[in-house]
Structure 1
Amino acid sequence: MYNIKSVSKLLDMPPVTIRAWERRYNVVSPIRSESGHRLYTEQDIEDLRWLKVQTEEKGVNISQAVKLLEKIREQRQGVPKEPEHGEFRVGESYESLRERLYEALTTFDVERANQLMSLAFSMFHFEDVFHDVLAPLLHRIGDEWENHKVTVAQEHFASLFVKQKFSQFFNVFGVNPAMPKVLAFCPSGEQHEIGLLLFTLFLRRHGVEVIYLGTNTPNEGLELLIERHHIEYASLSLTDPKLLPGVETMIATLQGVFPQLQFVLGGPGFQEVSEAFRPLLLGGELGTWNSWFKSLVKRGENA
């Protein structure tokens, strides 16, 4: 057990911050010594360290970080203290987590998959888990399904599991009404949404309200939705290049009806997009997204 002075020194965090987080957000619940002093466990220290990283290094505000920690704790409750099968490994990497998650999901072992997710979120920033563990995993399973290496049932089970994790985090973040409203969808015929899910999660973390329509969205009804909900940005994801001509026609039509509507295009299906639409392309790296978002905020401030 550690007193608050020791915890403060270990984490390089002022005692006043520790007390404030404890009182306001109930992030830790130290026991009291006979003399009334706070005593913190190893787990308390790890939770405080995790929150410190999120707020100081990852740019997550404390209230959002606490909500994320609550999700991790919910998953942690199902993880045994002395895990079987070597569940916890020193120096765990993205690759090893992907491999073990692949095994768990393709054998329909949801309990073990949840244990591995709890481990991942406790070790890495949640966006890194989605980008470097779950997204490549889903791509692999999708490719293996197309090549008949996994069954439809395995692919659906894995996809549903990953989408549920996304949904849990979507609901954590609040919305900043000053931010533009975004419509996110995959065009008609497009069935792959992992890239769009990642981008939507990124937007939600930054307080952007997103209306998410998902895969295979028909053109019918888009104009009414954009008008009624005052959509300012439309984010489209495309992996199938055969759909590109129809998608370009749809974008041009919407631009004609809504001249102020901004588009963000992502995915390998846009690789051969027409020159007129190339300025709308956005790469798939977090650094690129951060730069784009900063420019979006700057444009809003100058408007």
Structure 2
Amino acid sequence: MNNIKTNFSIKDLENLSGIKAHTIRIWEKRYNLFQPNRTDTNIRYYSTASLQKILNISFLNNNGYKISKIASLEEGEISKLVKEISESKDPNNHSINLLKLAMINFDQSLFNNTFYKLEEEMPFKTIFFDIFIPLLDHIGLLWQTDTITPAHEHFIVELIKKKILVETEKAYKENTPDLTQTPFALFLPDNEMHELGLLFTNLELTLQAKHVIYLGQSVPIESLEFLLTKHNNINFISNFTIKPKKENLDGYLTKFSEVLLNKNNCKFLVSGRMLATKPKFSNPNITTFDSTKALLEYIDNEK
């Protein structure tokens, strides 16, 4: 089965480029920028080449170029100008657009080549927070608007995961963990599968030679209790992206406290989308964050 998406609606172009469909229609009519095909029922649809062109036009427009100027350029000139600006002024936006194209076409080579170029210019931590996180935030919107399928999201997430794991393996070889330290136990709650933030936290703690116990996805609270038979104090770390649901959040934190925090000095550091609205339940040993970055900054400041 051919899973590569080659036909895009005008709404797809809007969602991927950030340019309103109404504006695209005006540009199409006034400047003849695109030549859409038509279905049997006379509905516009666009090719991958049109998608790439609208991403380039969006990039130039965001960098101060008027559409009349862009329309006067040949196809090759547009691509050349985008390359020049991206290299000198706005590389992040261009790289994110390339990664979107890689995702749309399930193009692992384009993903890797884009990543390798970024790797030459910035540390992995910067790539994660300045490229991958904005990309993933936009992918969430694209998935919700049916511009992409879950397969697209899984494709790009697995590629990012591989990069984190490669960096983590390097970190293990270069940093011997101090097993006399209070351990950090990293886990995701029941039915939570969004692991990138936790994997990146594991990488950062490994680089600091911390004692890490990595448990991964979908771990019940009761399974964590066994760790207390091995360690007196533990820094539990988790990330709530889709679980527990907001209406169950206070109940989860209450149970976590009763089972794991009430009779010791253990701490629970938790970040994620579900924590954007602070929970009502409070415990001095629970600290919540709205992002992985904020959680890691907290750990750095606690040194």
- TM-score normalised by length of structure 2: 0.61
Q: Give identity over the alignment, percent.
A: 23
Which runs of 5 or more residues in structure 1 are unaligned? 1-83, 298-303
SS in 2 for 1:189: coil
Q: Distance in 1 between matches of 2:294 and 2:270?
A: 16
Q: Within 5 A, what are the aligned runs for 1:63-212?
A: 89-91=86-88, 93-173=91-171, 174-177=175-178, 178-212=180-214
One-letter amino acid matched to 1:191:
M
Give the corresponding residue for 2:229: 227
2:264 is the counterpart of 1:250: no
Superposed CA deviations along residues 142-200 of structure 1, whole A, max 9, x for unmatched, are 33223322112211111111111111111121233144321112211333333333333
2:286 is the counterpart of 1:272: no
CA contact (8 A) 2:98 2:110 kept: no
Q: Distance in 2 between matches of 1:292 and 1:262?
A: 12
The count of residues paired between Structure 1 and Structure 2 equals 213
Q: Distance in 1 between matches of 2:105 and 2:233?
A: 42
Q: Sort the Cα spacing of 1:143 and 1:260 in 2 relative to 1 into closer, same or farther, 3 A.
A: same
CA contact (8 A) 1:186 1:238 kept: yes
Structure 1 residue 230 displacement after superposition: 6.1
Give the corresponding residue for 1:214: 216
CA contact (8 A) 1:232 1:262 kept: yes
CA contact (8 A) 1:135 1:194 kept: no
CA contact (8 A) 1:185 1:213 kept: yes
- TM-score normalised by length of structure 1: 0.61
CA-atom RMSD in angstroms:
2.9
CA contact (8 A) 2:233 2:265 kept: no
Q: Distance in 2 between matches of 1:186 and 1:147?
A: 27
Give the corresponding residue for 1:31: none
Shifted more, 135-144 versus 148-157: the winner is 135-144
One-letter amino acid matched to 2:271:
G
Superposed CA deviations along residues 244-274 of structure 1, whole A, max 9, x for unmatched, are 1342133212335651211112123122313
Give the corresponding residue for 1:281: 288
Which runs of 5 or more residues in structure 2 are unaligned? 1-78
CA contact (8 A) 2:225 2:260 kept: no
Structure 1 residue 229 displacement after superposition: 5.9
CA contact (8 A) 1:175 1:207 kept: yes
One-letter amino acid matched to 2:273:
P
CA contact (8 A) 2:168 2:206 kept: yes
One-letter amino acid matched to 2:116:
S
